[in-house]
């Protein structure tokens, strides 16, 4: 008879030094509903300004293990922790300079199940870090389920933060925190074009922003006509009769480039099978919101009314800021 394995949730808390990781973890561990009376293993991979009272925590069933070097996080080391502590829950305060990807590649103990990756970021230093350490910042956000942007003020540029993070992780939930609690004021997106217009002429500079906003708010673009320059992508893996006009976008750095675009249906007179990939067109289409498996839900679909061959632009890449 096969032994039933009880899954133990693993929470990875990520962020740069002094971003507020320790404060977040302490507040979380104060919640009796979160602990639910079970033993917790807290793996610390960074020494912050705030310290943990290990003696007091141990009395509550919270055991702390410090790791000084990334090389220590081997499969054998993690398995040993499971055998020795036999926790009900695992929290890992990851060093902000270590790659989350390296930890995800580890063979975790069989009982350990990744529950959530949370990245903590300081709103007051976000823009400076993005300017000087963009790839490191976005590496933290790439696999996260939630990004908590703390220390927000009236001057916090939410648009910049969103446009920086969302291109590398479309599904991430952004939470903004002020000193007096959660900032639940709706984010007002500053678009470089007039969303009220019936016809939107999308420039190369605005393509990335248009793509991101239309994915997030497809209702706002329902029935609108758009024109833009794009490269074609044709594949038998796409829904029958569809192709994707899109652009190559730099989501993080020169090594992290992705093709982004919407499913499109060509004019009735044009057969998709006769089209080739990597051909440049000036596209005019009407946008509709429809369910598509590729979107894992509803998303924008382009009903093309005009497809005119065009020259390849000098700069083929588009950006999000």
Determine contact, residues 261/245, Cβ cutoff 8 Å: yes
Which of 252, 276, 320 minimizes the C-alpha distance to 101?
252
* Alpha carbons 146 and 21: distance in angstroms, whole number: 13
* Largest interatomic CA distance in the chain: 75
Question: What's the pLDDT at 115?
Answer: 95
Over 90: is that where the pLDDT of 185 sits?
A: no
C-alpha dist (Å) from residue 170 to 209, 237, 255: 13, 22, 19
Quick one: tokens of 244?
């994707």
C-alpha dist (Å) from residue 307 to 59, 261, 265, 297: 69, 15, 11, 27
* Alpha carbons 81 and 79: distance in angstroms, whole number: 5
Torsion-angle region of 278 (φ positive above 0: left; ψ -120 to 50: alpha; else: beta): left
DSSP state of 70: G
Instruction: For domain 199-318, give the fold.
Output: OB fold (Dihydrolipoamide Acetyltransferase, E2P) (2.40.50)
The pLDDT tens digits of the residues spanning 225-237 come to 999 999 999 999 9
DSSP state of 37: T
Phi, psi (degrees; rounded to nearest 5) at 192: -80, 5
* Alpha carbons 230 and 141: distance in angstroms, whole number: 28
Question: What's the pLDDT at 159?
Answer: 87
- Say what the pTM is: 0.78
The pLDDT tens digits of the residues spanning 124-151 come to 999 999 988 888 888 889 899 999 999 9
Options 3.40.50.300, 3.90.220.20, 3.30.70.1060, 3.40.50.20; CATH for 8-182 is: 3.40.50.300
Question: What's the pLDDT at 31?
Answer: 84
Cα 219 to the center of its chain, rounded Å: 22
Cα 46 to the center of its chain, rounded Å: 23
- DSSP, collapsed to helix, strand or coil, labels residue 249 as strand
Average pLDDT of 184-213? 88
Question: What's the pLDDT at 248?
Answer: 94
* Alpha carbons 258 and 242: distance in angstroms, whole number: 20
Average pLDDT of 183-192? 73
Question: What residue spans define the domains of the chain?
Answer: 8-182, 199-318
Quick one: tokens of 14?
């990520």
* Alpha carbons 230 and 243: distance in angstroms, whole number: 12
Question: What's the pLDDT at 284?
Answer: 97
- At residue 169's C-alpha, the angle toward residues 187 and 151, to 5°, is 45
C-alpha dist (Å) from residue 203 to 121, 207, 229: 32, 6, 8
Number of Cα atoms under 13 Å in the Cβ half of residue 116: 12
Question: What's the pLDDT at 1?
Answer: 41
Cα 316 to the center of its chain, rounded Å: 24
SS (HEC) of 142-164: HCCCEEEEEEECCCCCHHHHHHH
* Alpha carbons 147 and 168: distance in angstroms, whole number: 13
Question: What's the pLDDT at 268?
Answer: 77
């Amino acid at each position: 008879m096969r032994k039933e394995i009880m899954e133990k949730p693993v929470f990875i808390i990520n962020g740069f030094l002094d971003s507020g990781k320790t404060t977040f973890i302490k507040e979380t561990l104060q919640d009796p509903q979160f602990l639910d009376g079970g033993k917790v293993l807290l793996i610390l991979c960074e020494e912050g300004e705030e310290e943990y009272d290990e003696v007091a925590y141990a009395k509550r069933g919270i055991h702390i293990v410090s790791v000084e070097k990334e090389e220590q996080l081997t499969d054998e080391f993690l398995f040993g922790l499971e055998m020795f502590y036999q926790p009900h829950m695992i929290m890992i305060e990851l060093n902000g300079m270590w790659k989350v990807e390296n930890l995800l590649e580890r063979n975790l103990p069989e009982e350990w199940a990744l529950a959530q990756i949370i990245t903590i970021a300081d709103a007051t230093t976000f823009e400076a870090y993005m300017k000087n350490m963009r790839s490191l910042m976005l590496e933290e956000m790439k696999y996260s389920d939630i990004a908590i942007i703390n220390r927000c003020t009236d001057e916090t540029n939410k648009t910049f933060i969103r446009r920086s993070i969302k291109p590398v992780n479309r599904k991430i939930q952004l939470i903004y925190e002020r000193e007096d609690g959660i900032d639940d004021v709706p984010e007002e997106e500053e678009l470089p074009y007039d969303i009220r217009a019936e016809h939107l002429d999308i420039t190369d500079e605005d393509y990335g922003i248009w793509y991101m906003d239309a994915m997030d708010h497809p209702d706002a673009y329902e029935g609108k006509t758009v024109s833009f320059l794009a490269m074609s992508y044709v594949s038998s893996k796409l829904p029958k009769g569809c192709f994707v006009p899109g652009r190559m976008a730099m989501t993080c750095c020169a090594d992290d480039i992705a093709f982004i675009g919407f499913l499109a249906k060509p004019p009735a007179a044009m057969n998709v099978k006769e089209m080739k990939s990597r051909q440049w067109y000036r596209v005019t289409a009407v946008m509709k919101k429809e369910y598509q498996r590729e979107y894992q839900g509803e998303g924008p679909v382009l009903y093309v009314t005009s497809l005119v061959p065009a020259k390849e632009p000098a700069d083929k890449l588009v950006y999000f800021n």
